[in-house]
Structure 1
Amino acid sequence: MTTASPLRRGLLLACATALCGLAQPALAQAKIPLRISSPAVPDDWHAKMWTVFKDSLEKSAPNQFDVQINLNAALFKQGTEPAAMARGNLELASISAFDIAKLVPAFSIFTAGYVVRDPQHQQKVFNGPIGTELFKTVSDKMDLTVLSTVYLGTRQLNLREVRTVRTPADLKGVKLRMPGTKEWLFLGEALGATATPLAFGEVYLGLKTGTIDGQDNPLPTARAAKFYEVTKQLVLTQHLVDSLFITISNKSWNALTPAQKQNVMAAAQAASKFNNENRIKEEGQLVDFFRQQGLQVSTPDVEAFRKSVQDSYARSDYAKVWPAGLLERINATR
């Protein structure tokens, strides 16, 4: 038996070390990349939830995924994420009902007023048979898999002057600022007001000068924009409970093992739960915040608003693309 010389042993050790060094990048590259694109700013719950997603996935599937979080629309502009995922240029994003409705018209029902009653109703609808059916259509038509439903916020009204608001008739003549698309303007008219298109950046001055009489937004947005400085009343109409949907490209989803799919799904649901709980808590606290700022807070006859607004939609062209009986099934979900 021949004993290797010290020089040869050194060379063998050096080669082995080099090979190990080469193996480390190879192992790192073996991680499955999950690029995330979000327009959310870092302080938003919709941004923070992605860290929960990443941490949850690292805990359940250590060293299997390379989760890359991109905020502030730094990777893709808001609204372009579905196409990027379909092309294979992006793995994960949170997309809106408006995004989905462009390719799945039936989904436009969730952009209408008073369809979803509250965050709890939202989760029951999308986690039940209705969600299963619609998400199957999303997968077929958009090449995306919906992992979980995220609560985006409930839109309320701020009014420049105090008035009694019980039903839509009480908003007659109120110049209510709405985003400038036909869908938003229709909602404003359905609420009983005179829908007035105005850029968001002009709303504060419009309320201050009387160009508009009111605006609608979720409470966190109204606080951030300081609309409480130029309005006297908060009317809790609850006219639109908005959603986001954590989605993954079918290409990425189908490449996962069953165990990996379960881990990714669980991480998405943990992220949604984190966001939803914190968003609901924040909105509850903000009602008191607006009271402290001197605003009168009132709650109208929400059922009267719901019936009137749903009747307006039922008579419109928007409802023609909704599957027969879908609105009734949503209303019946408890």
Structure 2
Amino acid sequence: MTIWKKTLLAVLAAGLAGSAFGQTKLKWAHVYETSEPFHKWSVWAAEEFGKRTNGKYQVDVFPASQLGKESDINQGLSLGTVDIIISGSSFASRAYPPIGVTYYPYTFRNADHLVKYTKSDVYKSLTGGYAEKTGNQIVATTYYGTRHTTSNRAIAKCADMKGLKIRVPDVAAYLAMPRACGANTAPIAFAEVYLALQNGTVEAQENPLPTIEAKKFFEVQKYIILTGHIVDHLNTVVSGKQWKAFTDSEKKLFTELAQEAAQKAGADIVAKEAELVDVFKKKGLSVTDPDRNDFRDTVLKNVKFEDFGYRKADWDQIQKIN
């Protein structure tokens, strides 16, 4: 046999071996920037999963809506265009409404309460319901940040928001608190919020403190009111097809890594929020704690769980978590 034939056979053999024992590539998508903790720790988890499966998997993380906006990547789980995503429960609730109860205002007291919820029976029930409906598996939940209100008017209680022109995302759960307090909501595109605040189209908005800093809303607002109306969070979700393809040991490993990544990202956000209170005060803004019980009681009185497809029994269970 000539040398070139031997070489050809070796190449073909290698190709066949590669196809039989080749690496499985998975796509992990989200809409956040590479500078954010959600991306940093997703990349860590992806790399660790590859290492600990001895190279069986290569998980590539696609940030900043590279594979589509949030609604697209959620749909991609079913279409097979993505294998893993990070996304809010507001999107999961489109397929399974009860899981959206975590976006009802004042469901969580703080980040620690959210973390304890992720280890509870009600969490297992809600994520299990979502899995049964969609086939997709929620393996971890990350603290995203607590939503607060900024304004050019002082606010101490819910009634102080009456008539307030406030920009709120056009999502029912986000609109609930301002509307319950009598504010006039405006669903302005996120990219246009700074200008709208600057020119007085609206006089207030709401977002987590890191977002308030990143978007420089503090430059065009006088007050930061720590309303804490929604403790925002993100789910790490594996497509039903890929979840079935994992072995039991791979499911366990990926879940453990995703949960560790969630814990680390959440800790980064908590630390950043604590720093920002002082940062904003040094910039001359008034940072105040309003009467949250007043806000909470007003929302409970005026906003029905059933209008969103939520179950108050789930909310009550979450309240009992200590």
Q: Is the 8 A contact 1:180 1:199 kept in 2?
A: no
Question: Which residue in 2 is equivalent to 1:122?
Answer: 114
CA distance in 2 between partners of 1:88 and 1:202 (Å): 33
* SS in structure 1 of the partner of residue 34 of structure 2: coil
CA distance in 2 between partners of 1:220 and 1:332 (Å): 29
Question: Which residue in 2 is equivalent to 1:250?
Answer: 240
* SS in structure 1 of the partner of residue 232 of structure 2: strand
State which of 21, 28, 40 in structure 2 corresponds to 1:36. Answer: 28
* SS in structure 1 of the partner of residue 38 of structure 2: helix
Question: Which residue in 1 is equivalent to 2:269?
Answer: 279
Does 1:204 find its partner at 2:194?
yes
Question: Which residue in 2 is equivalent to 1:86?
Answer: 78
Instruction: Call closer, same or farther: CA 1:97–1:13 in 2, change over 3 Å.
Output: same
State which of 299, 317, 321 in structure 2 corresponds to 1:329. Answer: 317
Cα deviation for residue 102 of structure 1 reads 0.9
Q: TM-score, normalized by length of structure 1?
A: 0.88
Q: Is the 8 A contact 2:210 2:276 kept in 1?
A: yes
CA RMSD of aligned residues (A): 2.3
Q: TM-score, normalized by length of structure 2?
A: 0.91
The CA deviation string for residues 109-160 of structure 1, in whole angstroms up to 9 with x for no partner, is 1222111221111121122101111111111111100110011211111111
Counting only pairs closer than 5 Å after superposition, residues 215-254 of structure 1 correspond to structure 2 as 215-254=205-244
- Kindly, what percent of the aligned residue pairs are identical? 25
Largest Rg, 1 or 2 = 1
Cα deviation for residue 108 of structure 1 reads 2.5
* SS in structure 2 of the partner of residue 300 of structure 1: coil
Pick which of 323-332 and 260-269 moved more: 323-332
* SS in structure 2 of the partner of residue 80 of structure 1: helix
Cα deviation for residue 260 of structure 1 reads 1.1
CA distance in 2 between partners of 1:201 and 1:81 (Å): 21
Cα deviation for residue 223 of structure 1 reads 1.0
Cα deviation for residue 282 of structure 1 reads 1.0
State which of 184, 190, 208 in structure 1 corresponds to 2:180. Answer: 190
CA distance in 2 between partners of 1:247 and 1:281 (Å): 25
Cα deviation for residue 235 of structure 1 reads 0.7
Task: Give runs of ≥4 in structure 1 deviating > 4 Å.
Answer: 10-17
Question: Which residue in 2 is equivalent to 1:22?
Answer: 15
Pick which of 42-51 and 237-246 moved more: 42-51
Q: Is the 8 A contact 2:30 2:63 kept in 1?
A: yes
CA distance in 2 between partners of 1:192 and 1:60 (Å): 53
Instruction: Call closer, same or farther: CA 1:227–1:323 in 2, change over 3 Å.
Output: closer
Corresponding letter in the other structure for 2:310: W
State which of 310, 318, 326 in structure 1 corresponds to 2:307. Answer: 318
Q: Is the 8 A contact 2:101 2:311 kept in 1?
A: no
Cα deviation for residue 13 of structure 1 reads 6.5
The CA deviation string for residues 196-251 of structure 1, in whole angstroms up to 9 with x for no partner, is 33232332233223332211111111111111111111111101111110010121
CA distance in 1 between partners of 2:5 and 2:193 (Å): 73
Instruction: Call closer, same or farther: CA 1:206–1:16 in 2, change over 3 Å.
Output: closer
Question: Which residue in 2 is equivalent to 1:266?
Answer: 256
CA distance in 1 between partners of 2:17 and 2:283 (Å): 58
Pick which of 181-190 and 169-178 moved more: 181-190
Q: Is the 8 A contact 2:47 2:59 kept in 1?
A: no
Q: Which runs of 5+ in 1 are unaligned?
A: 1-6
Corresponding letter in the other structure for 1:18: V
Q: Is the 8 A contact 2:209 2:273 kept in 1?
A: yes
CA distance in 1 between partners of 2:166 and 2:11 (Å): 69
Q: Which runs of 5+ in 2 are unaligned?
A: none
State which of 98, 116, 121 in structure 1 corresponds to 2:90. Answer: 98
Counting only pairs closer than 5 Å after superposition, residues 296-311 of structure 1 correspond to structure 2 as 296-311=286-301
Cα deviation for residue 286 of structure 1 reads 1.2
Question: Which residue in 2 is equivalent to 1:160?
Answer: 152
* SS in structure 2 of the partner of residue 42 of structure 1: coil
CA distance in 2 between partners of 1:25 and 1:212 (Å): 59
